[in-house]
Structure 1
């Protein structure tokens, strides 16, 4: 597996992963989840996207943006055909390492309240819920996770 910053030519495969990963939620939420609507060219140009690839195939990606003293995990997705292989965990571990590298003590994210699998997963992985809000027509649940300083 190779984890690297996304390049402009990665837009189409990243979008394909996002569509495959989030399509099952359309019916549950009643519309496309926000990550399916992301401006991937702009995010890549800003240096905010990393891809996880096997040989030349992008199987997952993560979008990270620093907001104040926190590294915001804006999007993390793995192609459904590769679920259960630990790739999501690899991407989340990378987010923690990146926060540590930047000298940040915290990660934050939000997920849709109807993505109940995510709510359970983030709690299991040590994230703590910090609030719930309705924004842009979505019911969002906010989480934070403390990042231990580099040893």
Structure 2
């Protein structure tokens, strides 16, 4: 079976709406499912209530060819913007959607006058830690939180 990647000519990022709940939930599940054996538990993004998160206005989606292809969850905090989750549909790997969502997250933090963007990832997701380090995030700590071994990272935007 041949998999055809979607046309990426015109991706756009917009706030998620209620009609996106199913697509967002599916993309997160598909993007994180392969981590379950490594983590020996369900990744926390797979447990989120995306109807609730979308209603709270913290979920953004990237669309291409009239379909949601990826998501980012951005939670405002008093002194920073928390990039809580980023996921791209696995069929869109290599399209640059993840990079576009990361650039968007940083631009959104700057727009909100946040001097810093923070994120966390699971300790076993070493490839994510390397990616974030390559684009300027620095590790700020490691600790167990909500039953997960997390690596915390931040990037100064000033």
What's the TM-score once normalised by structure 1's chain length? 0.96
Structure 1 residue corresponding to 2:99, chosen from 68, 89, 107? 89
The CA deviation at 1:56 is 1.8
Q: Distance in 1 between matches of 2:132 and 2:70?
A: 18
Match of 1:57 in 2: 67
Structure 2 residue corresponding to 1:147, chosen from 117, 132, 157? 157
The CA deviation at 1:89 is 0.7
Matched residue SS, 1:23: helix
Match of 2:140 in 1: 130
Runs of 4+ with >4 A deviation: none
Match of 1:47 in 2: 57
Q: Does 1:23 align with 2:3?
A: no
The CA deviation at 1:147 is 1.0
What's the TM-score once normalised by structure 2's chain length? 0.91
Match of 1:75 in 2: 85
Q: Distance in 1 between matches of 2:146 and 2:109?
A: 27
Matches within 5 A, 1:111-122: 111-122=121-132
Structure 1 residue corresponding to 2:24, chosen from 7, 14, 18? 14
Unaligned 5+ segments in structure 2 are 1-10
Kindly tell me the number of residue pairs found equivalent between the two proteins.
148
Q: Distance in 2 between matches of 1:84 and 1:132?
A: 29
Q: Distance in 2 between matches of 1:58 and 1:31?
A: 27
The CA deviation at 1:42 is 1.1
Q: Distance in 2 between matches of 1:65 and 1:43?
A: 10
